[in-house]
Each structure stands twice: as C-alpha cells, then as structure tokens.
Amino acid sequence: MKNNLFPVVILAGGLATRLHPITHTLPKSLVKINNKPFIHYQLELLRKNNIEKVVICTGFLGEQIINYVDNGHRFGLEVSYVSDGPILLGTAGALKQALATLSDNFFVLYGDSYLCCDYLAIQSAYLQQGKKALMTVLKNNEQWDKSNVLFSDNKIIIYDKKNKSPNMQHIDYGLGVFHKSAFDKITPFEKFDLADLYQDLLKQQQLASYLVHQRFYEIGSFTGLEELGEYLKNSRDILKRKNRWNLSNNFSMKPAKLLII
C-alpha cells in the first residue's frame, strides 16, 4: 500500500576530496563501512522510514553507484538517477536538473549523511508552515561540526556556512524539504550551491525550520567514517542481544498445563 511520503533526492555527485586517497577511484557513497558501502546503510534507513522513491544525483564516478544500487528493488525502493554530466553543477544545480523526475515536493538528503530522524514529522512541519523550503536544524554547540545557524523561537534567523558567529549554536542537520518553485531563479545547467539557495530563501522569508534532537552521522571525513562504523556496529550488537533474549525467553516459557474437564 502506497504512503504519502515525499520522494528523497540524494546528492551523491561530489568529489569527496577529504577522503582522498580512497575516493580517487571510488565515489564517497561506495566507501565501505563494516564491509558494506555507505549507501547500502543509507538506503536501508530510508526504507525503514517508509520512503518508497529515491532519486540519486550522480556526478564523479556515478556509474559505480548506478551499478551497485541498480533499480533499488533489493532495498524495497524505486531508485532512479540524474547525472550532472561532464561539468559538476553544485548541489542546487544538480537538483534543478532532477526536477523533471520529481513530484512538486521532495526531501533532499546530503550524500554523506546518515540521519535517524522522523521523516513523517518533518514532512508534516513543512506542510504546516507553508514555505517553499524547510531546513532541519540540530543544537550542535560546536560538538559534531562547526555551528552555522542562529536559531531562536523556532525560527532560523541567520544561516551562513562561511561567516560564522559565536551566537550560532545550531547546525544544518543535512535533510531539507523543497517545493519545485524554490528553484525557479536557477537557470538550467547553472552552477549553484544549496547553501546559497537556503540563504536566498531565508531572505525571502520562504525557509521553514524543524528542530531535530538526534545527532547526525556523516562520512565526509575519516573521523566521521569511524564514528558511524562504531555506531552501526553497536546498533547491530544491541539488536543481536535483543534477539537472543527474546529467543531465550521463548524457549524457557513453560508449556501451559492441559486442563481436562
């Protein structure tokens, strides 16, 4: 049975220079964590959140991602692809190219982000606030990366990745929601960054917000790779212990006595 969750666009076209030399010949999405490519975990998590359709924006070495994910059916998803072509168009430029394959509203997920959040709640907040876009934010306090959002009274006051101030305690979490009209001012094949689009929408008072409380994981750095690997391993171990406990309790239950009348 179909649900009403928006499709998710994954931005997977970057060069991943911070992961060199691994990413000289391998796209970041296919960097292995605990013997599986990162995108394997990313797609599994989306399906657990009841996402059904995914569009992957590819660029550098994108054919490798297509070969691995294919149509997405083994993940329980419908996956399609849009390529930047020979010239990388930036995150917002890539999204402009993908609009023809999308419904009016859609999620946008950074290609290096692993986010344990509530997609349905975020979608509901976006629809309720009635803006062209929504940015998820997390109170970061410089803990997991440099804070880049001034957030007050449930509103984004300033978003700036370049000119940061001590008053910024929140960070762009890595998941956005957009209406197609948010990209009207970007021309086809124009190089445009998503951070610049967010800033333009904020100036137009067309950027909604949603405060997330779960930390993000990312593979944009070797530290991030290590942290996510440890998190996934611990999560798997906890699940194994839970399954063993359930199995043990099922076997230890005494059979019910037969009452003969």
For 179-209, the pLDDT digits (tens) are 999 999 999 999 999 999 999 999 999 999 9
Task: Give me the residue label for tokens 């509901």.
Answer: 124
Which single residue is written with the structure tokens 């990745």? 161
Beta-sheet pairing, 8-12 with 105-110: parallel
Instruction: Provide the CATH topology of domain 8-138+171-220.
Output: Spore Coat Polysaccharide Biosynthesis Protein SpsA; Chain A (3.90.550)
The half-sphere exposure of 104 on its side-chain side, counting CA atoms within 13 A, is 5
Separation CA 36–CA 42 (nearest Å): 11
Q: How far apart are CA 52 and CA 77, in angstroms?
A: 5
When mean pLDDT is compared across 15-19, 50-54, 71-75, 128-132, the lowest value belongs to 15-19
Q: Where are the domains of the chain?
A: 8-138+171-220
- Give the count of beta carbons closer than 10 Å to the beta carbon of residue 63: 11
pLDDT at site 15: 86
The owner of tokens 């999560």 is 235
The pTM for the full model equals: 0.87
Q: Taken in order 50, 211, 130, 184, is the CA torsion positive or negative?
A: negative
So what's the pLDDT on residue 52? 96
Residues 6 or more apart in contact with residue 87 via CB below 8 angstroms: 189, 191
- Specify whether the CB–CB gap between 11 and 111 falls below 8 A: yes
Q: Is the dihedral of CA 145, 150, 152, 157 positive or negative?
A: negative
In angstroms, rounded to a whole number, what is the distance separating the alpha carbons of residues 107 and 176?
6
Rounded to whole angstroms, how far apart are CA atoms 74 and 95? 25
**What pLDDT score does 17 carry?**
86
pLDDT of residue 245: 45
Alpha helices in 147-221 (DSSP H): 194-203
* pLDDT of the residue at 239: 47
pLDDT at 241 over 60: no
The answer to whether residues 207 and 156 touch, using CB atoms and an 8 Å cutoff, is yes
How far does CA 21 lie from the centroid of its chain? 24
Determine whether 207 is exposed, middle or buried from the number of CB atoms within 10 Å of its CB (0-12, 13-18, 19+).
buried
Question: What is the pLDDT of the chain when averaged over all its residues?
Answer: 89
The percent of residues in the chain predicted with pLDDT above 70, rounded, is 89
Report the candidate in 130, 151, 131 with the shortest Cα–Cα distance to residue 139: 151
101 vs 241, residue with greater confidence: 101
Confidence of residue 144 (pLDDT cuts 50, 70, 90): confident
d(CA 108, CA 226): 24
pLDDT digits (tens, 9 = 90+) for 75-92: 999 999 999 888 888 999
Q: Do residues 216 and 114 touch, judged by C-beta distance below 8 A?
A: yes
pLDDT class of 140 with cuts at 50, 70, 90: confident
Is 216 exposed, middle or buried, given 0-12, 13-18 or 19+ CB atoms closer than 10 A?
Answer: buried
pLDDT at 238 over 90: no
